[in-house]
Structure 1
Amino acid sequence: MYVCVCKAVTDTQIKRAISEGVCSRRELFKCLGVGGDCGKCNPHVKELLSNHEQSCNQYLMQNQPNHSILAA
């Protein structure tokens, strides 16, 4: 699905950039050009970044070592 019609950028392209380490709207603008023209894509771009951040945080919480076991 096109997220940024001004630059013809899809959600797949944005998700790929995020998975490769892009972590802000400013960085997405630099690498894909999204959000620089009309700005209508900014809410969806922000949502994609937020969803990725939540997924990462959830993964980290589930995969942290249990320090109470190590202390025993």
Structure 2
Amino acid sequence: MMELQKHAEERIQQANEEYEQLRRSSEQEITKMSALLKKAEMKIISLQEGVDRKSRENQELTQLCDDLINKMGSGK
């Protein structure tokens, strides 16, 4: 009986150690993934700002071209 109890306790301890190792590994993976997600979110924000800036520049250039075309058309 004593040997069976000792064996069971060893198995429980081994299972607890494996669980703890998996828990730490999972926490590290979550931390890593969270950092990668934050980096990706920052990249998306940066790209969106670039798109917005280019859109404004295109609108301004289009307006300038339209103004020039109108001036050329009315100058004839």
Is the TM value for this pair above 0.5?
no
Where on the TM-score scale, by shorter chain, does this alignment land: which range?
0.3 to 0.5
What TM-score do the two structures reach when normalised by structure 2?
0.39
Going by fraction, where is helix more abundant, 1 or 2? 2
**Larger relative CO (CA 8 A, sep 6+): 1 or 2?**
1
What TM-score do the two structures reach when normalised by structure 1?
0.41
Going by fraction, where is strand more abundant, 1 or 2? 1
